[in-house]
Structure formats: C-alpha cells, structure tokens
Copies of this chain bind each other. A is one copy, B any other.
Amino acid sequence: MTRLFNFNPGPAALPQSVLEKAQNAILEVDGWGAGIMEVSHRSPQFENMLAEMQVKMRRIMNIPDDYHILFCQGGARMQFAMIPMNFLHTSAAYVDTGTWSDKGIEASELIGETRVVASSKEQNYNHIPAADPSWLQGDESYFHITSNNTIYGTQWHNFPDTGDVPFVIDMSSDIASDVVDFSQFDMIYAGAQKNIGAAGVTLVLIKDEFAQKAKADHLPPMLRYSTFIESNSLYNTPPVWNIFIVKLMIDWLEEAGGLEAIGKRNREKAAALYSVIDESPTFFKGHATEDSRSIMNITFNLPSVELEKKLVADATAAGFMGIKGHRSVGGIRVSNYNAVTVEAVAQLTAFLKDFAKRNG
C-alpha cells in the first residue's frame, strides 16, 4: 500500500479518514443491516442521513436559510445546460475566464441571447478581468462567472455587485475551500470531486426567490430545478454513495474546524507553493498575474519543455502525482484542494526548490 502525495486536479485526493469511513460503510452502515449502496433512498435511514447532513452543511458552510441545498447529477456541464434552460428569459451575461466559463457560454448560446461582457482569453486567461459597472444593463436574466479556473490557476478574490441582476456562480473548484458570503449570489453550483466529495454528484445552492423565476414547464422534469426542490433531490434515485461521501466530507470539515480553519490552512499551503515561484521567478514562471492567483491551483512554466518533462518525471519518481499542467497551458499545475495535506505541500515545496537548485 503506497498512497502517493496526490496533487490531482480532479477527481482529486480525499482525506484518508474519509476514505476509511467510506470503507466501513460498504458492507454495513451501523444498524442498517446493509451497506450504504444497498439501501433505498426512500428508507427512513437514508432520508434522516440526508436531512441531518443538510442541516450540518448549512451550519458549517453558513448557507442562508432561504437557499435550497440540492444534489444533482451530470456535473457542472449539466448545470451549464439547465441554467439557461430554466432562467434565460431576456439575456445572460457571462465573464469568460477560461475553459469552463467558455463551455458554459457555449451551452447558453444554444438557448438564448448570451453576452460575453469580459474575457481574458487574449492573455491566455492569465488574470481575472477587473469588474466594470458597464457589464450589466440591469435587465439581464442572470450574470455568470466561474470563481476558480483550474486550468489557468486564477481565482476571483472580489466579486462584483450585480445590483438587481441575479448572480450565478460556478464554484466547482473552490466550494467550501474558504469562508465566502453566499448571500451575494443567487445560485452556487459545484461538482463535488475537487473539494467536497467524489465525482458523480453536483451540489446546487439556490435562493428560493431566484428559483421562483424559472420558466420550466416545457422541460422534462429532470431538467427543472423545481423538481429537485419539491422532492428534496429525491425525485428519482439519487447517487446515494456520492451523496454519502459529501456527508463524510462535511463531517470532516467540521472536525477540521470549519471553513475558517480550512481556509486559513489552504491559504498557508498556497503561500508555501507560491514562495517557490517568488524565490526563483526566472526558473518557475507563474502563469497567473499576482492579484489573480488561485489558492486552489498553482500553475507555472519552466524555462524549457525539456525541463518541465524532467520535473514531472523526477516528481513522479519521488512519489508526487498529478502535477503535470493541462495541455492548454503546459508546464506544471499543483492542485491544493481541501484534502491536500500540509505535509504533502511541505514535501513538494522542498522538492521543487531543490529541483531549481540542481537544474537552475
């Protein structure tokens, strides 16, 4: 058994204690007489577990009372479709900060008038555009951004005020990674597989007032948010196992001291990783501009593709996995999600500094 230091961009590392609890629930959940995958989603056992988990999640993540907590399937990509199908009545405004924003825009354009109000594409998405009051006219159905851009390693650190325009945010790669004021958004969604669970379930937080604005009677029930709201996500058989892993992650977040503690830890881990770039900026060339740096994904290039290949090979040999950059940027990407340990980051940081010394 050799678990490597795991910096995968997603699906990503999970905490060892969560994995051990998951193992224990496979043959039998305490007193259920069956494993977690073998019990009806309509049993009192599962319904109670779901309800208790939602209460705890609301508390730990500070989700306002008028936001529904939903569990959907199909990842952020299905949300890219469902959002305009339910809510695009006038026009939608999107900021394009990378591949995932772009895929959201692509889906929205098939449904209705979609305006890209800002984009950092020309600079290979190396920054988050500065907020500009001219982005919105005020009659938009919603405004959409991607809070963290895994591929490019950029992240919004201040959110624009959208006035009366509903604010929809894809937080797939930074949900529950730090304290955030959800009340500034009308809808928050996130695939679970980076910070709060395993692939196969999507967390959707939706303000009731916004949910009411959907026009969805023409859609099959599975594509309406109202279906998930009215059934508490039990309209059809949900991904029971995947929801259970989210529950274990919420328990883990609580044990770790909540979002304040986890946010502090993530920022400290990121600072250690960015110190590698800042100490040798001509060797480790950061992709993101400083004020747009992501706490979740640290991206940089080396002086040559050969050195990048050597770094990935040496790191793999030394027991680090998942640091090869996405093909759009090349180079190196270190993902620093909730479950990445301080120890793993310390080891990698030392390794990188040593690599620079030996090869710089």
Contacts and interface: CB of A to CB of B under 8 A. Distances in A.
A200 B19 contact: no
Contact of A110 (B219, B236, B242): B219
A44 interface: no
A35 interface: yes
Interface string A92-107: 0000000000010011
B4 A77 contact: no
Interface in A32-50: 33-35, 37-41
A168 to B, nearest CB: 15
B27 A16 contact: yes
Nearest to A193: B237
A138 B307 CA distance: 64
A76 B236 CA distance: 9
Interface in A206-252: 218-223, 235-242, 245
A19 B35 contact: yes
A245 B14 contact: no
A193 B76 CA distance: 23
A8 interface: yes
Contact of A11 (B218, B235, B240): B240
Contact of A38 (B1, B12, B75, B201): B12
Interface extent on A, as a size class?
35 or more
B239 A200 contact: yes
B221 A77 contact: yes
A241 B8 contact: no
A33 B26 CA distance: 21
A320 to B, nearest CB: 10
A199 B239 contact: yes
A81 interface: yes
A89 to B, nearest CB: 17
Given A19-B26, A81-B222, A107-B221, 15 more contacts: A2-B28, A2-B33, A3-B33, A6-B38, A11-B37, A16-B27, A23-B27, A33-B319, A74-B222, A75-B237, A107-B222, A110-B220, A198-B240, A200-B200, A200-B241
Nearest 3 A/B pairs, CB to CB: A200-B239, A81-B220, A4-B33
Interface of A: 1-4, 6, 8-14, 16, 19-20, 22-23, 26-28, 33-35, 37-41, 73-78, 80-81, 84-85, 103, 106-107, 110-111, 191, 193, 198-201, 218-223, 235-242, 245, 319, 321-322
